[in-house]
C-alpha cells in the first residue's frame, strides 16, 4: 500500500488503493472564503503541470461528479475540531475534497496536495511527458504550535528583496508561518526610515568584512551593504500574507547598535572617551560591540520615530526589539547614564536596560502591538512594578531553555529558539570539509528530535505559554544565498516537522526515509543548494577560512 512521503508528517494519513488522474478537463472549484487558496493552487500546480484547472461551469462540486475536480471549502466543523490552520484532504476517483478551518488551513492543505503530486510539482514550468495523478488518501492535519518561525539575519550579510521572497516560498512549502527579519545590527541597518535618512545612507554600508570567525586574519575588502525601501517592505509583507506567513521585524536596542550610531553619533554615549565621540564606523568585524545607545531623551524620541514607521510598514501583531548582549561598560563610565540611574532610582545598569526596554514595551502595547525580545529582557526588574514587562510581551528564549521556563511561569508567551539546538549557522558535522565550522555539531537528526516544550513545563499550566519555536540563521559567516541554503537545509525541514507534527507522528527513521524517497528531490526542484547527506560538495566548502568549532555535546541550559 502506498504511504505518502509528506514533510512535515501530518496528524493522520489513511492511504487508499487507487489514483486520481488530473487532466486538461480537471476543474478547480472554490467555495466562499477559499478564493485565495484556489489562486495559490492554480499558480503553483498550474505552473508545474501546465494544466489550466478551469473553474467549474456549474455550482461548486457539480463538475466533480463526472469530469473530476479539485474542490476547496472553508468548513466550520474543521475549524471547531482542528482550528483555523487545520485541514482535511480526501482524494477519491472523483477528485479532491479539501476542507480547511479557515484560509490558512486551506493553504497548508494545498501544500500537502502539491507534495502528493510528486517532486516535479515544485517546479516553475512543466517537464515533458509527465502524467499527473494523486494517490487515494485521506489526510487530517493541524499544526502543533501557532508560531513556527525562521529568523533570517539580513544585517550581517544582506539578502536582496528577491531572496527574501524566495525564503517566504520555502517557508510556506514547509508549513512554517513566521519570518523574523533581523534588520539592524552593528554591521548594518537594512530598513529605510524616511525621517532619518542617514540610517541607510551611512548605516547600510560597511567598507570591508572579515572572512570567517573574528579570529580569522582574512578580510574581504569589497564594501558590503544594501537595504529595503519602504515599498520593498510593503511588497515583502504582502507577498508573505498571501502565503499566510507573518513577517516580524527586529530593530535591535539598546545594544547591537553601532550602525545606527555611525549614522547619528548623538545616539551613542558621547561623554565616554572612545565612545560615540570617536565617530565609529559601521562595524566591519564580528562579536559583541561595546558601542550601545545612550539612555537619553534624544535616543528615546529617535527610536519612537523609528518604531512609528516600522508599525506603518509591518501590520502584524509582533515587533521584536532585540534587547540582547548589551555591554554596560559605557553606561558605567558615562556621567549621563549614571545621572539617569540616580534620577530614576534604579539599582544599577541592568535596571537601566530594563527601564529602556519597558519604555518601548509600553509604547507598543498602547498601539495594540506586542513586544518580542531575547530572554535578556527578563533581567534587571528588581521587583519594581514599573520595570516589569507588560502581560503581552513575548520572550525569545535563545540562551537555552531557562529564560523560556522563567517567562512561561511568569505568564509570558515564549518562543523557544535555544542556541545549541536550533541555530542553523552552527555546523552540521565534525568533518574537516564542513565550511567555516561554528559551534557544536547539530546534525539533521539532532534538529529533528528538538522538543520545544521543556520537561519542566510539560503538563503544567505554563506549558500553554510556549506558543512555538524558531530556527535562527545568523549570517556572520554566511555570505550569500548558496551558503544560506547549505546551512538551513535540510535541517529546516526537520525543524518544520518538530514544530508542526504531534510528537507521536515524529520518528527519525520515517523522516529519513521520506527525505530520501521524496523531499531531497523536492528541494532539488525548488533549486535549494542543501547539504547532501554524504557531506558538502566541493563548491560548498570554504577551505582556509577559520571558524570556531566546539567539541563535545552542547551544554544543557
277 carries an active-site annotation: no
35, 325, 329, 429: the active-site residue: 325
Residue closest to 267 by CA, chosen among 294, 303, 289, 290: 294
Q: Scanning the structure block, which residue is given the C-alpha cell 511527458?
A: 129
Cα–Cα distance, 56 to 50 (Å, whole number): 18
Q: Scanning the structure block, which residue is given the C-alpha cell 500546480?
A: 45
Q: Scanning the structure block, which residue is given the C-alpha cell 536596560?
A: 353
Query: Cell numbers of 446, please?
Result: 539532532
256, 401, 465, 519: the active-site residue: 256
Cα–Cα distance, 397 to 378 (Å, whole number): 10
Residue closest to 396 by CA, chosen among 227, 141, 180: 180
Where residue 190 falls (left for φ over 0; alpha for ψ -120 to 50; beta otherwise) is alpha
Helix, strand or coil for residue 453? coil
Please report how many Cα atoms fall inside a 13 Å half-sphere around the Cα of residue 128, on the Cβ side. Answer: 0
Structural contact between residues 369 and 317, judged by C-beta atoms closer than 8 angstroms: yes
185 carries an active-site annotation: yes
448 carries an active-site annotation: no
5, 29, 75, 185: the active-site residue: 185
Q: Fill in the DSSP letter of residue 489.
A: T
Query: Cell numbers of 540, please?
Result: 560548498
Query: Cell numbers of 232, please?
Result: 520593498
Alpha-carbon torsion, ordered 418, 465, 310, 387, to 10 deg: -90
Q: What is the largest CA-CA distance in the chain?
A: 82
Query: Cell numbers of 236, please?
Result: 515583502
Query: Cell numbers of 14, please?
Result: 489513511
Residue closest to 209 by CA, chosen among 188, 191, 192: 188
Structural contact between residues 34 and 101, judged by C-beta atoms closer than 8 angstroms: no
User: What are the two backbone dihedrals, phi and then psi, of residue 258, each rounded to the nearest 5 degrees?
Assistant: -65, -35
Alpha-carbon torsion, ordered 22, 25, 31, 34, to 10 deg: 50
CB atoms within 10 A of CB 120: 16
Between strands 466-473 and 438-439, the pairing is unpaired
Write the DSSP assignment of 205-244 as a string of letters. EES-EE-SSTT---EE-S-EE--B-HHHHHHHHHHHHHTT
Please report how many Cα atoms fall inside a 13 Å half-sphere around the Cα of residue 351, on the Cβ side. Answer: 17
Query: Cell numbers of 43, please?
Result: 499558480
Active centre residues (catalytic): 185, 256, 325
Amino acid at each position: 500500500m502506498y504511504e505518502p512521503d509528506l514533510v512535515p508528517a501530518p496528524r493522520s494519513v489513511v492511504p487508499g488503493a487507487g489514483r486520481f488522474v488530473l487532466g486538461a478537463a480537471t476543474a478547480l472549484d472554490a467555495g466562499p472564503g477559499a478564493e485565495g487558496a484556489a489562486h495559490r493552487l492554480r499558480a503553483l500546480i498550474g505552473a508545474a503541470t501546465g494544466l489550466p484547472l478551469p473553474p467549474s461551469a456549474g455550482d461548486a462540486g457539480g463538475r466533480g461528479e463526472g469530469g473530476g475536480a479539485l474542490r476547496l471549502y472553508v468548513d466550520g466543523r474543521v475549524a471547531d475540531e482542528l482550528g483555523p490552520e487545520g485541514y482535511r484532504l480526501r482524494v477519491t476517483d472523483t477528485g479532491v475534497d479539501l476542507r480547511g478551518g479557515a484560509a490558512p488551513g486551506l493553504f497548508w492543505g494545498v501544500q500537502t496536495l502539491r507534495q502528493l503530486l510528486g517532486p516535479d510539482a515544485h517546479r516553475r514550468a512543466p517537464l515533458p511527458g509527465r502524467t499527473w495523478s494523486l494517490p487515494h488518501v485521506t489526510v487530517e492535519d493541524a499544526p502543533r504550535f501557532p508560531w513556527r518561525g525562521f529568523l533570517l539575519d539580513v544585517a550581517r550579510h544582506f539578502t536582496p528583496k528577491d531572496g527574501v521572497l524566495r525564503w517566504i516560498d520555502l517557508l510556506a512549502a514547509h508549513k512554517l508561518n513566521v519570518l523574523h527579519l533581523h534588520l539592524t545590527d552593528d554591521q548594518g541597518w537594512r530598513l529605510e526610515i524616511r525621517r532619518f535618512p542617514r540610517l541607510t545612507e551611512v548605516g547600510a554600508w560597511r567598507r570591508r568584512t572579515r572572512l570567517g570567525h573574528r579570529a580569522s586574519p582574512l578580510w574581504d575588502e569589497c564594501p558590503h551593504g544594501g537595504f529595503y525601501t519602504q515599498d520593498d517592505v510593503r511588497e515583502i509583507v504582502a507577498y508573505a500574507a498571501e502565503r499566510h506567513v507573518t513577517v516580524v521585524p527586529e530593530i535591535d536596542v539598546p545594544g547591537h547598535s553601532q550602525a545606527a550610531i555611525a549614522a547619528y553619533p548623538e545616539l551613542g554615549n558621547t561623554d565616554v572617551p572612545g565612545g560615540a565621540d570617536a565617530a565609529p564606523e559601521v562595524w566591519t568585524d564580528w562579536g559583541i560591540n561595546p558601542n550601545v545607545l545612550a539612555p537619553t531623551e534624544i535616543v528615546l524620541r529617535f527610536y519612537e520615530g523609528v518604531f512609528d514607521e516600522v508599525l506603518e510598514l509591518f501590520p502584524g501583531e509582533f515587533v521584536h526589539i532585540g534587547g540582547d548582549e548589551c555591554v554596560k561598560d559605557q553606561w558605567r563610565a558615562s556621567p549621563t547614564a549614571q545621572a539617569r540611574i540616580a534620577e530614576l532610582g534604579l539599582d544599577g545598569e541592568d535596571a537601566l536596560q530594563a527601564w529602556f526596554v519597558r519604555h518601548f514595551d509600553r509604547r507598543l502595547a498602547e498601539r495594540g502591538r506586542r513586544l518580542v525580545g531575547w530572554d535578556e529582557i527578563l533581567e534587571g526588574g528588581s521587583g519594581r512594578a514599573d520595570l516589569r514587562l507588560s502581560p503581552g510581551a513575548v520572550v525569545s528564549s535563545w540562551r537555552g531553555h531557562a529564560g523560556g521556563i522563567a517567562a512561561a511561569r511568569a505568564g509570558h508567551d515564549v518562543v523557544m529558539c535555544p542556541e545549541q539546538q536550533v541555530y542553523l549557522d552552527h555546523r552540521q558535522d565534525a568533518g574537516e570539509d564542513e565550511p567555516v565550522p561554528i559551534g557544536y555539531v547539530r546534525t539533521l537528526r539532532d534538529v529533528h528530535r528538538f522538543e520545544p516544550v521543556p520537561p519542566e513545563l510539560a503538563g503544567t499550566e505554563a506549558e500553554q505559554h510556549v506558543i512555538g519555536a524558531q530556527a535562527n540563521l545568523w549570517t556572520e559567516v554566511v555570505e550569500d544565498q548558496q551558503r544560506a541554503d547549505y546551512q538551513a537545509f535540510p535541517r529546516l525541514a526537520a525543524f518544520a516537522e518538530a514544530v508542526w507534527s504531534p510528537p507521536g507522528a515524529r520518528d527519525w527513521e520515517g523522516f529519513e526515509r521520506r527525505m530520501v524517497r521524496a523531499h531531497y528531490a523536492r528541494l532539488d526542484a525548488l533549486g535549494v543548494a542543501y547539504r547532501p547527506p554524504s557531506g558538502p560538495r566541493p563548491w560548498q566548502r570554504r577551505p582556509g577560512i577559520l571558524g570556531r568549532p566546539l567539541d563535545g555535546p552542547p551544554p544543557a541550559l
